A and B are shown apart, each in its own frame.
Chain A
Amino acid sequence: MFNKKSLALVLILTFVLSLSLSVAVMAQDDEVTLRFAWWGSQSRHERTLRVIEMFEEEHPNIKIQPEYTGWGGYWDKMNAQAAGDNLPDIIQHVRKMMASYVENEQLLALDPYIEDGTLDVSKIGESYLEMGRAYGKQMGLATGVNAPAGYYDKELFDAAGVDYPSPEDTWKDRAEMFKKLHEELGILGAATPASQEEGNGFVVWLRQHGQSFFSEDGKSLGYDDDQLFVDYMNYDLELIDSGAVQDAMQRQESPDAIEQDPVTQGEAATATNYWSNQLPAISNGAGKLLHPFLYPKAEDQVQEGRFMKPAMVMTVAKSTEHPEEVMTFLNFWFNNIEAGKVIGTDRGVPTNSEVRKALKADADKYDQAVFDFIEVAAENAGPVLPLQPPAFSEVTTAFADQYWEVIYGMKTPAEAAADFREEATKLLSR
C-alpha cells in the first residue's frame, strides 16, 4: 500500500507529465506564423506542402503551419475551431458551406486588400472572382473551377452511327440520342438521364426557364410553377419507360464508384451525372479516354442555365492577426506560375489565366481534355449559382425522396411536386 509520501509523488508526477504535454513552446521574434488548413488526398497534401516550402524560401520571415486532414472530419474540426474563436488564418472552403460562415461573420472580406493592391487578382477573370463572392463581398478566391459533365464512349457512338453530343443539343435531342443508342447497340443510352436526385440537372432546367432552385433570400423555393417539376419528371419517366436508361430498381443497386459506372464497362454508351475533374477517374475506369459533354439546352430557354462552380474557395479568417502576410501568401498561391505548376488541376482548373496557359502547355492527354472542356463550359455558362441557404442539404434530401417516389411509381409527378414544395418550404422557412 502507498504511504502518504509516495502517493503524493505519484500524483505530482501525473500532473507534471500531463502539463508538460500541453505546454507549447513559442518563438519570440519577428517571425510571423500563419496557419493554413485544407482537406484532401495524399497527393494534394504533398503538392501543398511543396508549395509552402517554396513560399517559405521566398519569404523567410513568414512560417506557414499546415493543418491538413481528409474531407471526413474536416468540417467538424473547423466548426469546433470557429466556435472556439481559433480558426486558422487561411481556410480552404467550399461554396456550399460558406453561407453559414459568412452569416456568422467568421470570414474576412478581401475587397479592401484588392482595392489597395495588396492582393493582386488582375489575372483572374471576372466570372471566377464572382465565385468567391457572397452577399456582394469578396469573401474568398476560387482555387479552380469545375463544371457538371457527362461522359461518352466515342467508339460506341461510331458503331451506332449516332452524332456525338454537342453543346447545342436540346433535352429532346438528348432523349433521342439515348434511345437511338439503346436501339442500335442493345445497351443503355446512359445509366441515368440526368443527375436529378442531387438536384443539379433540375437547377439547370429551372435556370433555363428563368427560375432558380432557391429564392434570393434563401427562405423559400425559387420557382412558383410546379409544372416545371412535372415536365422535368415526365422527361425522366419517358426515358425509363423506353428502356434507354436504368429503371428505379437497377439504379438503387448500382454502385456509387465512378470507376464502375456502366459506361466504363461498355454497358452504357454515356454517363450523365458527373463533374469535369472526374475525367481522369472515369477514363481510368474505362481504360481509355471518355469524352466529356455538357448538359443540354432547353428548347424554349430564356437564358443560359448551365453553370460552372468553384472547386474550392480560399478564405481568410476574420480573426487573423496578420492580414498583410496572409495576402502575401495568397498572392504567391494564385499568381506564382511555379507554384501553380505544383498545384496542378488538383483543386480544379486554375483561375489565373497565365497559370492556366503554363499548365496546359505540358498537360497529359486526360488533363488536356479537361482544359478543353472547361473552355467550352465557360463559353456556355450562365450566371454563377447563388450561395445555398444553410438548409440546402435537407432540401436536397427532400428532393431526392420525392424523385425516388416518382420513379418507383409510388406518386405521380404532380403529387411529388406539391409534396416537395410543402416540405422544402417548411425546411427553408425555419
Chain B
Amino acid sequence: MNNKFEALDTVRSLDAGMNKKKWIKENLTGYVFILPWLIGFLAFLAFPLLRSLYYSLTEYTIVGDPSWVGLRNYIEIFTDDPKFWTSLKVTFYYVVFAVPLRLASALALALVFRKARPFTNFYRAAYYVPSILGGSVAISVIWRQLFSSQGAFNDFLVAIGVMGDRISWIGHPDYAIWTIIILAAWQFGSPMIIFLAGLKQIPKGLYEAAEIDGAGKIQQFFSVTLPLLTPVIFFNLIMQMVKMFMVFTQVYIITEGGPLNRTLVYAVYLYRKGISNGYLGYGSALAWIILVLLTIVTILLFKTSNKWVYYESEGE
C-alpha cells in the first residue's frame, strides 16, 4: 500500500510540473539498469532497421557503395517485377491455408489434453516437440524424403489403395506448396499450449449451467468454449500469421522455391534477390514492403476483432 501512495506522489509532483531535476535523478537509475538492453536494442534492432530503410532507397550491390536512387527500387518492384507478385501470391496462399490449419489442429489437441488423464503431461510435452523441431533443417530434410515419390507418404497411399501410382508431391507444381502447408499445420505446439491456458480460464460453472439447460457436448463447444476462447484465438491468429509471413527455412530446404516458382514465398525471394543475387538495396526495399503489408493486415484484423472477439470485461 505504501508503494502505491509513493507512486501517486510521484505522479502528482510530475503533474504539478515541479522538480524536473528530481524526476531525472530518480529515473536515471532505471535507465542505467536497462542500459544493456537499451544498447542492444539500439545497436541490433533500431540501427539496422533504419539502416535498411536507407539502403532501400539506394542502389547497393556487392562491393559497390550504396548510391542514392530515391524510390527507384520501390517503383521497380511494383511496376517491373513479376516475381514480386508471384511471391506475394504464393505467400498469401500459404498463410491463408496454413494459419487456420495450424490453429485448428492446435485447438483440437488442446481440447483432447484439457482433462487430466494418466500421462497427459507426457503427451502435452510430446506434442509440443514438433513445434520446436519443425523449423529446423533436419525436419525439412526428412519432410523432403517423406513426400518424395519413393517416400513413406506414397507408400502409405498406395498401400491403402487411394492411389495406384506414386506422385512426386514435392516435384508437382500444384501439390508442392501443400507439403509445406502440412508441415506448418504439424507445428501446432506453441499455439496449443496457449489454447490450453485459455481453456483453463473458462469458468466450470458455465458448463454446468449449459448442461442443466440441456446443451450437448457439441453445443457446449460452440456456445461456451468457442466464444470465451476468442481472445486467445485472436492472439494466436496474429502471432502465427506474422510468423508464417516470414516462413523461410522449410521452403528453402524442401523446394527452394520450385517447382516453377510455385513455392517462392516472400522470404525466399527476398533472400534470392538480396543475398544470392547481391542486390542489397533492392532486397531492403522488399523487406520494407512486407513490413508495411504485414502491419496493414494486422491492423485490418484488429478492426474486425470488434465483431468477433469477446472480452468478458466488456460485458460487466
A residues apposed to B, CB below 8 Å: 1-2, 7, 10, 75, 79, 82-83, 97, 100-101, 104, 106, 248-253, 255, 390, 393-394, 397, 401, 404-405, 408, 410
Q: Is the CB of A79 within 8 A of B171?
A: no
Chain B residue at minimum C-beta to C-beta distance from A4: B25
Contacts of A393 in B (CB 8 A): 276-278
Q: How far is the CA of A405 from the CA of B173 in the complex (A)?
A: 11
**A83-B65 CB under 8 A given contacts A1-B29, A248-B259, A252-B259:** yes
Nearest Cβ on chain B to A219's Cβ, whole angstroms: 16
Which parts of B105-153 form the interface with A (CB within 8 Å)?
A: 144, 148-149
**A408-B259 CB under 8 A given contacts A2-B32, A253-B149, A393-B277:** yes
Instruction: Kindly identify which residue among B64, B258, B276 contacts A104, using a CB–CB cutoff of 8 Å.
Output: B64
Chain B residue at minimum C-beta to C-beta distance from A400: B258
Contacts of B28 in A (CB 8 A): 2, 7
Contacts of A401 in B (CB 8 A): 260-261
Nearest Cβ on chain B to A397's Cβ, whole angstroms: 7
Chain A residue at minimum C-beta to C-beta distance from B261: A401
Which parts of B268-313 form the interface with A (CB within 8 Å)?
A: 272, 276-278
Q: How far is the CA of A410 from the CA of B172 in the complex (A)?
A: 13
Q: Is the CB of A252 within 8 A of B170?
A: yes
Nearest Cβ on chain A to B139's Cβ, whole angstroms: 16
Instruction: Kindly identify which residue among A10, A101, A253, A390 contacts B32, using a CB–CB cutoff of 8 Å.
Output: A10
Contacts of B38 in A (CB 8 A): none
B29, B61, B168, B276: residue with the most chain A Cβ atoms closer than 10 Å? B168
Q: How far is the CA of A248 from the CA of B168 in the complex (A)?
A: 10
Q: Is the CB of B258 within 8 A of A404?
A: yes
Nearest Cβ on chain B to A225's Cβ, whole angstroms: 26
Contacts of B62 in A (CB 8 A): 75, 79, 97, 100, 390
B residues apposed to A, CB below 8 Å: 28-29, 32, 61-65, 144, 148-149, 168, 170-173, 176, 255, 258-261, 272, 276-278
Instruction: Kindly identify which residue among B148, B171, B255 contacts A248, using a CB–CB cutoff of 8 Å.
Output: B171
> Number of A-B pairs whose CB atoms are under 8 Å?
67
Q: Is the CB of A397 within 8 A of B272?
A: yes
User: Closest 6 CB pairs between A and B?
Assistant: A249-B171, A252-B171, A249-B168, A253-B170, A253-B171, A100-B63
Q: How far is the CA of A252 from the CA of B173 in the complex (A)?
A: 10
Chain A residue at minimum C-beta to C-beta distance from B169: A253
Q: How far is the CA of A49 from the CA of B255 in the complex (A)?
A: 38
Q: How far is the CA of A404 from the CA of B61 in the complex (A)?
A: 27
Contacts of A100 in B (CB 8 A): 61-64
Q: How far is the CA of A50 from the CA of B61 in the complex (A)?
A: 35
Nearest Cβ on chain A to B81's Cβ, whole angstroms: 11
Chain B residue at minimum C-beta to C-beta distance from A1: B29
Q: Is the CB of A7 within 8 A of B32?
A: yes
Q: How far is the CA of A250 from the CA of B149 in the complex (A)?
A: 8
Instruction: Kindly identify which residue among A79, A252, A397, A410 contacts B255, using a CB–CB cutoff of 8 Å.
Output: A252
Q: How far is the CA of A83 from the CA of B65 in the complex (A)?
A: 6
Q: Is the CB of A404 within 8 A of B149?
A: no
Q: How far is the CA of A97 from the CA of B261 in the complex (A)?
A: 26
Nearest Cβ on chain A to B132's Cβ, whole angstroms: 24
Q: Is the CB of A82 within 8 A of B29?
A: no
Given contacts A249-B171, A253-B144, A393-B276, 12 further A-B contacts (CB under 8 A): A79-B63, A97-B62, A106-B63, A248-B259, A250-B171, A252-B170, A252-B259, A255-B144, A390-B278, A393-B278, A408-B259, A410-B260
